[in-house]
Amino acid sequence: MKRSICVFCASAPGITDVYAAATREFARAAVERGLRVVYGGASVGLMGVLADAVLGMNGEVVGVIPGALVDREIAHRGLTELHVVGTMHERKALMARLSDGFVALPGGLGTLEELFEVWTWSQLGLHTKPCGLLNTSRYYAPLIAFLDHARDEGFVRRELRAELVVDDEPRRLLDQLISTS
């Protein structure tokens, strides 16, 4: 079976084109490495940019979307596979089962919640899959500083904090994740 990377990202485009450009660069890096992309199944925002870029390079994209969001997030109808599930919990569980690692591109509350859930699952020993952040234009710099603060204050174990791979360059990030999986 082909190796898969789960990508959490926004259903919005952000206020600058730098995020879409980085998303397309990430897509290219994933396709070059032969990775199948698993994501939230939408055709809008950075999710749509990601799916369209991977598909445009003849890569494989698997979308997972709850039925309640099919119209709201405008489910992408041109994917390699589209799974419509009942709930957000089912969405995240299926995305995790289908993936060998996780990356968060820039995004909002949903992106953060998804990343923190799978990273917590790692802490609990529910999986050993790598987790990463693509820090486009220092988007995640305040979050990274907070996580380092939480580590320094004794609320995040040092080894767990070290497991979250952070890079601002998609190729390096994917290579680090692949080497740790």
* Residue owning tokens 């990775």: 35
What's the rounded Cα separation, in Å, for the pair 12 and 120? Answer: 25
What is the pLDDT, as a whole number, of residue 62? Answer: 98
Q: Say whether pLDDT at 155 is over 80.
A: yes
What is the pLDDT, as a whole number, of residue 2? Answer: 73
Element (H, E) at 104: strand 102-104
What is the pLDDT, as a whole number, of residue 114? Answer: 97
Q: Helix 18-32 crosses helix 45-56 at what angle (to 10 degrees)? A: 40
What is the pLDDT, as a whole number, of residue 46? Answer: 98
* Residue owning tokens 């990343």: 115
What is the pLDDT, as a whole number, of residue 73? Answer: 65
Give the pair of three-digit tokens for residue 159. 């080894």
What is the pLDDT, as a whole number, of residue 113? Answer: 97
* CB 22, CB 114: distance < 8 Å: no
Q: Say whether pLDDT at 1 is over 80.
A: no
What's the rounded Cα separation, in Å, for the pair 175 and 110? Answer: 25
What's the rounded Cα separation, in Å, for the pair 35 and 32? Answer: 8
pTM of the model: 0.96
Q: What domains does the chain contain, in order, with CATH numbers?
A: 4-176 (3.40.50.450)
For residue 173, the SS3 value is helix
For residue 164, the SS3 value is strand
Give the pLDDT confidence of 20-78 residue by residue, as tens digits: 999 999 999 999 999 999 999 999 999 999 999 999 999 999 999 999 999 776 999 99
Any bridge partners for residue 132, and if so which? Answer: 103, 165
Give the pLDDT confidence of 117-149 residue by residue, as tens digits: 999 999 999 999 999 999 999 999 999 999 999
What is the pLDDT, as a whole number, of residue 71? Answer: 78
Give the pair of three-digit tokens for residue 108. 């909002």
Dihedral (CA of 70, 72, 74, 79) sign: negative
Q: Say whether pLDDT at 4 is over 60.
A: yes
